[in-house]
Structure 1
Amino acid sequence: MQKHLVIIGTVWPEPNSTAAGSRMLQLIALFQKDNYSISFLSSAKKSEFSSPLESQDIDCYSIELNEDSFDTLIQTLQPSIILFDRFMMEEQYGWRVAEQCPDALRILDTEDVHFLRKARETAYKQNRELVFEDYLSDVFKREFAAMHRCDLNLIISEYEMELLTETFQVNTSILQYLPFLVEPISENFTNEIPPFSQRSHFISIGNFLHEPNWQTVLQLKKCWKSIKKALPEAELHVYGSYATQKAQQLHNEKEGFLIKGRALDVATVFNSSKVLLAPIPYGAGLKGKLLESMQFGLPNLTTEIGAEGMHGNLNWNGFITQTEEEFVQKAIALYQNEVIWKQAQLNGIAIINQRFTKTLFETDCITKVNHLNQHLKQHRLQNFLGQVFQHQTLQSTKYMSKWIALKNGN
């Protein structure tokens, strides 16, 4: 049987704009390494920053929501595996896939667990501690059902694996821990990048359309004056794609708080900066900006939420802070003290090499995928909750979609 993977994407991947875009290219490389042919389908419009997938031997198709033409296309493609890049894609197309390609393995790449991020956002915006009820939102019910309708779910964070298995009793047979997959860092790496003495200024980076990133920028604005007072020569360069009008309004030359917009060359920006600041107030998954800072040898400051699932029992690539006052103090120390800075840099390299090197995870993941593909019927019999959700939840989604298609004269 030909190994053919179809990916149904919310958007066309933009690896230079979002961590999700980088993650998708890592997954594509993982399957191509195991000789899968790949087709990528999306109803989104491509942008000038979309990755040129065709140049990587990937067939690309534009699809429409609530259109029966999808059924014809997926039947023609006859994939052995279908991967949804978020649970919303499974909701939209999962029932069509189940009808047209019942023997195809269905995988959900969660990106991060959305209901966890939603629960934390709710608690944060109400200025209180998270309680269990916060988890049980509509997002939870939708995502939990989508996860069970799929044969396998890729989970990016150890914390989320623990939450799903221990708190919500999700069977490990439908879960696979798969963090960011990167190349190891060589021993002489620190000799190849600019040293402490040749760097200046603080940096922050993150796609402005992602709400936790915007809240992070607001946190930075609150504590920047105290940092600037101690380090009058320092500036904070805030980078991120899709900078909004409200973000541009925070730009202040006099304060040294500079909204820079999209970083066209992340390597250049990271290699000239001294410290990355990421006081992330809430979120889920793994933070691509913090992983990148370690890859480039750039120490950072973050919060417990920011560092979650990343360092295990290893020392952090800088400092993990709990209060605004501590964040300010540690930012100043990391910026001024070369000994602390160099040790932070080495800590980051250890985290990359021991916890995110792709060879640690690729074989396990592909082995599990191929095993499930060969024993799919038995696997689905054991995932009886999935059958319940498949039967119940999707009836409403399916008939709403059919009604819209009919209404559109399709």
Structure 2
Amino acid sequence: MSQKQLLIIGFVWPEPKSSAAGSRMLQIIDLFLKADYKITFATACAKTDNAFNLEPINIETVQIQLNNSSFDSFIANLNPNVVLFDRFMIEEQFGWRVSEQCPNALKILDTEDLHSLRKGRQQAFKNKEEFNDTYLYNNFAKREIASILRCDITLMISEFEMELLQTKFNVQESQLHYLPFLIEMDTESLENTPKFKERNHIVTIGNFMHEPNWQSVLLLKQQIWPKLSQLLPQAELHIYGSYVSQKATQLHNPKERFFVKGFAENVDAVMQNAKICTAYLPFGAGLKGKLLDAMQNGTPCAMNSIALEGMFGDLKPNGIIEDKIDDFITKTVSLYNNKLEWVKAQENGFKILDKRFSKSLFEADFNYKIEDVLKNISTHRNQHYISQVLQHQTLQSSKYMSKWIEEKNK
């Protein structure tokens, strides 16, 4: 029996040191490698210095073009069994071409986070209003839900977002699959992380190009750290993240003990040196990679309800949760100074990793889902006939728009 082929069409090259999305992509790649798939990674995005080198793990890489029929011959020759779209914008660009050239290929969408939810919350934040359904049902949602419906399986990183898709948008559960961040547990390493007295300062980390992270930094600078720093006179705030901008570096102020550090070469070392990781996000979606990084390095967290969404289930959190800024500051001080509270939060983090994100909990179910739908793809698609109608209509409109752009660019 010939080896199955997987084509991943990437929004960007995976950058695991720059973003949680990059780590997520490598976790998915690893699942397919262990299932003995031959993998090709294709993207129209330029490769950066932070891009992970896929060739040593036997992943073929291909540069492709947007709105160009050269992709048609490429995928027809490859003839993959499975195609994975990295975010819905990629499915919009290439989904119709995949359906036309390889109609029997299983189409998987990896959402990373629910973009429409994040965009709706961002607009509510900008308007200084409470988020509600009016903001949820935005134009991004129309595009994103259409993309989800056109695909055979959509991978969801957050249980909260899975439920939202079913209750608010009537997406069938059979079209969704829960696959959070996957952690390979190393109990000995967890137990050997630096202790309470060996740590100092507060840290946060996140890609500066990601708007929720940037707005979080502004909140820290303008509203949280001025008060928190007075109550913790020996503590410093260290802000790490890739793609640090000039407007971010201008916030750097040693006199205020507010340090913009930029790219973190070693996230584990950064987290293990810190006493607390803070994640106060004004808006966002999905799971927060910084919280997983913190838990893996025994670092308790100070967070608000947006940050913890989809993270803890019924388990106790690895730190404090508070939305009111003054109370957030008070509880952060307590977590920073109280050893018993800190140690308990650290233990909670280890338990969360084991019970909710251990790779062994999800690998078999993921493999079964892929193979089951692959074997019964016609039945699966007939059960979601509205999706086929949408696929037909979209294929026609996207096809001729793309061909028009291609002609225009000649």
The answer to whether residue 205 in structure 2 is matched with residue 223 in structure 1 is: no
Deviation at 1:394, TM superposition (A): 3.3
TM-score normalised by the chain length of structure 1? 0.98
CA shift for structure 1 position 198: 1.1
Q: Distance in 2 between the 1:234 and 1:173 partners?
A: 49
Q: What is residue 366 of structure 2 aligned with on the other side?
A: 365
Alignment of 1:9-408 (within 5 A): 9-186=10-187, 188-221=188-221, 222-408=223-409
Letter in structure 1 aligned against 2:195: P
Separation in structure 1 between the aligned mates of residue 374 and residue 189 of structure 2, nearest angstrom: 40
Note if contact 2:295-2:346 (Cα within 8 Å) is conserved in structure 1. yes
- Alpha-carbon offset, residue 2 of structure 1: 2.8
CA distance 1:135–1:394, shift in 2 (3 Å):
farther
In structure 1, stretches of 5+ residues that fail to align are none
1:238-278 deviation per Cα after TM superposition (whole angstroms, max 9, x unaligned)? 00000111111111111001100001111111111111111
Q: 8 Å contact 1:114–1:139 — kept in the other structure?
A: yes
Alignment-mate amino acid for residue 391 of structure 1: H
Matches of 1:335 and 1:135, distance apart in 2: 36
Q: Which aligned segments of 4 or more residues in structure 1 are displaced greater than 3 angstroms? A: 188-191
Q: Is the 8 A contact 2:43 2:64 kept in 1?
A: yes
Q: Secondary structure at the match of 1:281?
A: coil
Distance 2:176 2:210 in 1: 26
Distance 2:85 2:57 in 1: 20
Q: Is the 8 A contact 1:17 1:240 kept in 2?
A: yes
Q: Aligned partners of 1:196, 1:397: CA distance in 2, in Å?
A: 56
| Alignment check: 8 A CA contact 1:8 1:82 kept | yes
Kindly provide the amino acid, as one letter, of the partner of residue 218 in structure 1.
L
Q: Please list the CA deviations of residues 329-385 of structure 1 after superposition, one character each: whole Å capped at 9, or x if unmatched.
A: 111111111111111000000000000001111111110111111111111111112
Report the Cα offset of residue 193 of structure 1: 1.6
Q: Could you tell me how far 1:230 is from its partner in structure 2?
A: 1.1
Asked if structure 2 preserves the Cα contact closer than 8 Å seen for 1:161 and 1:177, the reply is yes
Mapped to 2, the partners of 1:123 and 1:408 lie a distance apart of 38
Distance in 2 (alpha carbons) for counterparts of 1:385 and 1:306: 35
Instruction: State the percentage of identical aligned residues.
Output: 51
Cα deviations by residue, 1:166-197 (Å, 9 ceiling, x for unpaired): 222111111001111111241x4454121111
CA apart distance, 1:236? 0.2
Whichever residue aligns with residue 210 of structure 1, its letter is: H
Paired with 2:340 and 2:182, the residues of 1 have a C-alpha distance of: 30
One-letter amino acid matched to 1:164: L
**3-state secondary structure, aligned to 2:146:** helix
Kept in 1, the 8 Å contact 2:296–2:350? The answer is yes
Q: Distance in 2 between matches of 1:238 and 1:133?
A: 34
| 5+ long unaligned stretches in structure 2 | none
Report the residue type matching 1:331 in the other structure: T
**Mean alpha-carbon deviation: is it higher for 74-83 or for 131-140?**
131-140
CA RMSD, Structure 1 to Structure 2 (Å)? 1.0
Change (3 A) 1:18 1:190: closer
Whether the aligned pair in 2 keeps the contact of 1:2 and 1:80 (CA below 8 Å) is no
CA distance in 2, matches of 1:240, 1:54: 26
| Counterpart-to-counterpart distance in 2, 1:172 and 1:333 | 42
Aligned residues: 408
Cα deviation for residue 408 of structure 1 reads 2.7
Report if aligned partners of 2:158, 2:287 keep a CA contact under 8 Å in 1.
yes
Partner SS state of residue 282, structure 2: coil
CA contact (8 A) 1:250 1:259 kept: yes
CA distance in 2, matches of 1:191, 1:371: 39
Counterpart contact for 1:185–1:352, Cα < 8 Å: no
Q: Name the SS for the 1:254 alignment partner.
A: helix
